[in-house]
């Protein structure tokens, strides 16, 4: 029966100046969930999800320790698949760094990623919303 199978998803991000947060919020809008910062009290993924959207940016060639530690706290049995997104200025390398950390946790990571250079404009936010819907 169409619609009987509902995919569960969650959105987690780390953002210093709000660029990645805007992408996270667009993804959350697309999937009907909340975007939660990895350092928020309710950041833990307590119930298994089919898709975890997880994003961050590059700061001095690396991802923030908060994000790294958060990924290391994830339980692979609660995340069937992760989808990585990022903003940053010079390179997309944050995508690889986040993917590597997730793989170390034994979490399956989608080949599909989402990246915007710096602050996403409204068109890009709409693109992020549409991107996220594909995974439902
Ligand atoms: C202290 C600092 C260091 C940064 N280092 C890099 C970098 O090494 N490579 C890069 O591509 N962007 C770098 N950026 C740009 C950020 O990744 C970019 O502005 C990103 O969109 C910030 O995301 P946020 O607003 O979600 O924190 C840096 C920004 C700051 C503030």
- pLDDT tens for 37-47 read 999 999 999 99
DSSP 93-133: HHHHHHHHHHHHTT--B-S--EEEESS--HHHHHHHHHHHH
Inter-CA distances, 106 with 43, 102, 103, 132, Å: 19, 7, 5, 22
pLDDT above 80 (res 2): no
pLDDT confidence bin for 122, thresholds 50/70/90: very high
Q: Helix or strand or coil: residue 5?
A: coil
Structure tokens at 77: 């049995």
- How far apart (Å, rounded) are the C-alpha atoms in residues 14 and 11? 11
Domain that holds residue 107: 9-133
Closest C-alpha residue for ligand 1 atom 29: 59
pLDDT above 50 (res 58): yes
User: Does residue 27 fall inside a structural domain?
Assistant: yes
Looking at the CA of residue 91, tell me the nearest atom of ligand 1.
Answer: 11
Task: Give the mean pLDDT of 105-134.
Answer: 98
| 68 CA → ligand 1 middle, Å | 16
User: Does residue 46 fall inside a structural domain?
Assistant: yes
Q: Is the dihedral of CA 63, 67, 68, 74 positive or negative?
A: negative
User: Does residue 119 fall inside a structural domain?
Assistant: yes
User: Does residue 102 fall inside a structural domain?
Assistant: yes
**Residues with Cβ < 8 Å from 119, sequence gap 6 or more?**
18, 19, 22, 87
pLDDT confidence bin for 89, thresholds 50/70/90: very high
Looking at the CA of residue 88, tell me the nearest atom of ligand 1.
Answer: 17
- Lining residues, ligand 1, CB within 6 Å: 15-21, 57-61, 87-91, 118
User: Does residue 3 fall inside a structural domain?
Assistant: no
User: Does residue 1 fall inside a structural domain?
Assistant: no
Task: Give the percent of the chain with pLDDT over 90.
Answer: 94
**Average pLDDT across the chain, whole number:** 95
| 118 CA → ligand 1 middle, Å | 8
User: Does residue 92 fall inside a structural domain?
Assistant: yes
- How far apart (Å, rounded) are the C-alpha atoms in residues 116 and 22? 11
CATH of the domain at 71: 3.40.50.360
pLDDT above 80 (res 4): no
Structure tokens at 29: 């809008």
Number of domains in the chain: 1
User: Does residue 2 fall inside a structural domain?
Assistant: no
Report yes or no: 33 and 11 within 8 Å, Cβ to Cβ. yes
Each residue of 90-99: pLDDT tens digit?
999 999 999 9
Which of 18, 57, 96 for mutating ligand 1's site (highest number of atoms within 8 Å of CB)?
Answer: 57
């Amino acid at each position: 029966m169409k619609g009987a199978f509902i995919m569960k998803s969650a959105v987690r991000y780390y953002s210093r100046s709000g660029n990645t947060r805007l992408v996270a919020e667009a993804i959350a809008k697309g999937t009907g969930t909340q975007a939660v910062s990895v350092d928020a009290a309710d950041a833990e993924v307590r119930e298994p999800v089919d898709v975890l959207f997880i994003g961050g940016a590059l700061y001095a060639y690396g991802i923030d320790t908060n994000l790294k530690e958060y990924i290391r706290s994830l339980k692979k049995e609660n995340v069937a698949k992760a989808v990585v997104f990022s903003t940053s200025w010079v390179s997309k390398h944050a995508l690889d760094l986040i993917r590597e950390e997730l793989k170390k946790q034994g979490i399956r990571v989608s080949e599909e990623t989402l990246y915007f250079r710096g602050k996403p404009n409204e068109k890009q936010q709409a693109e992020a919303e549409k991107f996220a819907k594909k995974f439902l």
